[in-house]
Amino acid sequence: MASVLQENSTNVIEAPEPGLQPAELIERAVKLRGALLEAQAAAETRGTYSPEMHEAFKKAGFYRILQPRRYGGYEFDVPTFARVIVEIARGCPGSAWCLCLASGHALNVAQLFGERAQAEVFGPDGHFAAAARALPSGTATRAEGGWLLEGTWDYCSGVPYSTHVLVGVRLLGESGAQPIGVAVVPRSQWTMLDNWGDFIGMRASGSNSVQMQGAKIPEHYLVREDFFAPDISHGTAGARLHGNSMYAGGTLGFFQTEISSIMVGVGYAALDEYESIIRARKTFGPAPVLQYQHPDYQRPYGIALGKLEAARHALLGAAQEYMELARLSVAGQRTYLRSDDLRLQSGLQHAAQLSFDAVDLLYRMAATSAGAKNGTRMQRYFRDVSMARTNPGLQFDLKAADLARQLFTEQDQLQPGAAS
Amino acid sequence: MARSSIPIPELNLTAQEMIQRATAMRRTLRDRQQATEEAGRILEQTNDEFVKAGFYRIVQPRRFGGYEFDLPTYVKVMSEVSRGCPSSGWVLALTAGHPIILADFPEHAQIEAYGTDGEYRCPSLGSPIPVKCVPGGYSVSGFWDFASGCDIATHIMVSGLIPQEGAAPKPVLMLVDRKDYSIIDNWSMVGMQGTGSRRVVVEDLFIPEYRVAPLAMWVGLSGEKVHPNPMYNGRKSSFFVIEGGAVAMGTARGMLDLYDELLRTKSMRFAPKTKLMEHHEFQHYFGVAQALMDNADAALVRAAEDYMDACTAQSERGIEFSEEEDRRIFLMVQQGTRLAFEAADRIFTTAGTQIAQTKAMLGRYYRDLAIQRTHFTQQMDRTAVNFARIHFGFAPLSPF
């Protein structure tokens, strides 16, 4: 074992702060919340966070949380990543969406691609950020020494500050039942379209489209995998390269962890805002008191906090279970099944749903002028959540039957006699 | 009692015919939604058509040139209009309903309000401000926000607090003519932008004593009983929430209309790329949304009927229209609108991200409903507690 580690550490890029601990990283996110709150309106108008905020995120190490140590990352675990994103979202949900979906996919690169591609895309200084769009919205065609890519990928959240994108592609002229793949494409090969912002919310998420016209990538920048369901049945090359089973889990559970972290953070942001509203406003009718002293306003606070606590625990529990399932799978003790991935996703969808319920309640309880008028934070959170809820990944009832079917199918395969 | 000779524009117009007019207008109203939103107020053209259709006279006393239809008719017309355009529907509902509030005023004020032609469109405004007592009436200076319909109004009813010797000030409504108030544009919202619910300002205005009525929504007193029709002499809180409720129903119903169209035309993004309407999940969504909406509508119409019954029982059998009954009806409407909100949420979240675009119509309905659900009459938790307190003999904690 030691020899593998030693061999693997020969071409290490040093992380900026080799001794950085997860707790310190989370603390940095908490400390940035004030600045994020202040910058919310400007971030919305801009469509993403500011270049200064990007530098602050970079300096704090947020882009390197899940990136392999070998390539300049901190290689912390998925729960740490989720906790950082919750804190950022509590400061600005849209900015968190943008950061999360630009920084999280280091995990997928480390998981899906070979050593050569990883050394190139993470290098030379280890700064890497990549929006991802898994739905195969464009094509890849064989060309001299590599692939030519064409297409437009919409909703590439996190793209404004991305060094690369990860995109699903249909492979033209290739055999197989479903010739699709995942490509990692450097920024020089694509254009970010100026088409983001005209939506009800999450306007700071930088979800522009990415266009490729004759984009050229080398052979090893494309892998023949379904981004939604890569083959992890025998571990992954990335997990072996980095000696870390985190890089051998399913993608649905991880993608949903990204989104649900943001959603849990929005809930706490709305709770903070609700508290400041009820501390400042008086009750309606004769004998007014400050709202925070009245049970009608205390009750929603308590209910919302309870829902958010449940959501936070569900989020961190699922993130931890992702780590555990991947560990057992790599250790050969228990395969990380497709149903495991769907199961994680479904629990995480309900975590987000709890947060939606909390935001709904708080939004409704805040007065029209404090919560619904343009420029108020509560209105922004409500709009952000409204936007997020249209995300197909969050529609638990659309996926619920898939989960059940997958589980039943796997059970029947394990016990063929039982399915008569 | 002095009879007025204001002519009724269409003597034989039936309630059914008026509902059909509202239904026929829906498509046109939908086409004008974006223009209405951009204008930040009800369009003149729309208002003219509402006037011509007789909508503002729907519950206006026949004596004063109105049709004096019942409350269920009012609810259906307002819902149908809101189904086409929630902002226009809101302005209509919260002005056209207010002959019932004006009924609390002295007869003299009503005769002045309806004038010679019966043109009366009047928002009523909460958040009372202190007024000064002067000989023969009151002197008023101040402003009120959220004046829905202030652009097309003939009058407004503003709320004030009359100082009382050694007691809490008395909340009242005061009738103000259009020429006596100005409008300040401070309406900038995520939805319902087309209502133009802006600030109205009054400066050093004299209000004669006869243009003042108790703020019945707060204090539960009925007013002058000028009209024999019991509908005009009930409590006003539950009436007020019925007005907003009718708009909420129409707004959510408008979403269901669009969802129906969407499911027929849009395809699944993943294989097999069937039409959404062919997909089991979307069939389930649609069925549930339909059921939620139908129950919501049924609850509101029933609430309007209960309101009429409570008024009638009071006038004809001497059974008090109690505060408890008022809150019960109030609560029933709130629960009904929650069903409509739930239907709207299900529709919005399953219709695809494209409909969250700023100019998408389904997204606009959703934004409109998002504003409506913050309305102070929609705070069901508060009303639930107050209803229970009254029921068990405790004083309510607040007026709604």
C-alpha–C-alpha distance, residues B41 and B180, integer Å:
20
Q: What is the pLDDT of residue A414?
A: 81
Q: What is the pLDDT of residue B224?
A: 73
Q: What is the pLDDT of residue A415?
A: 78
Chain B, residues 159-188, CB within 8 A of chain A, namely 168, 188
With cut-offs at 50, 70 and 90, classify the pLDDT of residue A393.
Answer: confident
Q: What is the pLDDT of residue A417?
A: 57
A to B CB pairs, distance under 8 Å: 102
| Strand-by-strand arrangement of the B137-147 sheet | B132-134, B137-147, B198-208, B182-184
Chain B, residues 372-391, CB within 8 A of chain A, namely 373-376, 378-379, 381-382, 385
Chain A positions in Cβ-Cβ contact with residue B399 (cut-off 8 Å): 284-285
Q: What is the pLDDT of residue A174?
A: 83
Q: State mean pLDDT over A131-135.
A: 95
Q: State mean pLDDT over A221-240.
A: 93
Whether residue A96 is predicted with pLDDT greater than 60 in this model: the reply is: yes
More confident residue, B307 or A14: B307
Q: State mean pLDDT over A405-417.
A: 85
Whether residue A419 is predicted with pLDDT greater than 80 in this model: the reply is: no
Q: What is the pLDDT of residue A3?
A: 46
Q: What is the pLDDT of residue B70?
A: 98
Chain A positions in Cβ-Cβ contact with residue B168 (cut-off 8 Å): 286
Please indicate whether, in this complex, the C-beta atoms of A286 and B168 are within 8 angstroms of each other: yes
Q: What is the pLDDT of residue B5?
A: 79
Please indicate whether, in this complex, the C-beta atoms of B366 and A284 are within 8 angstroms of each other: no
Whether residue A5 is predicted with pLDDT greater than 70 in this model: the reply is: no
Radius of gyration of chain B (CA): 21
Q: State mean pLDDT over A338-355.
A: 96
Q: State mean pLDDT over A272-277.
A: 97
Q: What is the pLDDT of residue B222?
A: 65
Whether residue A2 is predicted with pLDDT greater than 70 in this model: the reply is: no
Q: Does A199 touch chain B (CB under 8 A)?
A: yes
Nearest to A198 among B190, B350, B358 (CB): B358
- For strands A191-192 and A130-143, give the pairing: unpaired
Q: What is the pLDDT of residue B305?
A: 98
Chain B positions in Cβ-Cβ contact with residue A395 (cut-off 8 Å): 349-350
With cut-offs at 50, 70 and 90, classify the pLDDT of residue A10.
Answer: low
Chain A positions in Cβ-Cβ contact with residue B281 (cut-off 8 Å): 397-398, 401
Q: Which residues of chain B have pLDDT under 70?
A: 1-4, 219-223
Place of tokens 């990352």: A73
Chain A positions in Cβ-Cβ contact with residue B220 (cut-off 8 Å): none
Residues A267 and A352 sit within 8 Å (Cβ to Cβ): no
Q: What is the pLDDT of residue B220?
A: 65
Give the mean pLDDT of chain A: 93
Q: State mean pLDDT over A255-264.
A: 97
Q: State mean pLDDT over A349-357.
A: 96
Q: Does A177 touch chain B (CB under 8 A)?
A: no
Nearest to B385 among A135, A286, A296 (CB): A296
Single pTM value for the model: 0.85
